[in-house]
Amino acid sequence: MFMLYNPFDPLFLMLVLPTMLFAMWAQHQVTSSFKKYSQQMTSKRLTGAQAAQEVLKHAGVTGVTIERVSGHLTDHFDPRSNVIRLSESVHNSTSVAAVGVAAHEAGHAIQYANGYFPIKIRAAIIPATNIGSKLAMPLVLIGIFMSMYGLINIGILLFGTVVLFQLITLPVEFDASRRAINILGDSALLTRDELPASKKVLTAAALTYVGALAVSLAQLLRLIAMSRRRR
CA angle 96, 210, 172 (to 5 degrees): 70
Domain boundaries, the chain: 2-230
- Determine the 3-state secondary structure of 47 from DSSP: coil
Tell me what pLDDT residue 8 has. Answer: 60
Tell me what pLDDT residue 41 has. Answer: 96
pLDDT band for 231, please (50, 70, 90 cuts): low
Distant-in-sequence, close-in-space partners of 197: CB < 8 Å, separation ≥ 6: 37, 40, 96, 97, 100
Rounded Cα–Cα distance for residues 144 and 225 (Å): 13
Task: Give 125-140 pLDDT, tens digit per residue.
Answer: 999 999 999 999 889 8
Task: Give 140-197 pLDDT, tens digit per residue.
Answer: 888 888 878 889 899 999 999 999 999 999 999 999 999 999 999 999 999 999 999 9
Task: Give 6-41 pLDDT, tens digit per residue.
Answer: 656 777 888 889 999 999 999 999 999 999 999 999
Tell me what pLDDT residue 221 has. Answer: 92
Task: Give 32-64 pLDDT, tens digit per residue.
Answer: 999 999 999 999 999 999 999 999 999 999 999
pTM, to two decimals: 0.89
Catalytic residue among 54, 105, 173, 194: 105
Q: Is 105 assigned a catalytic role?
A: yes
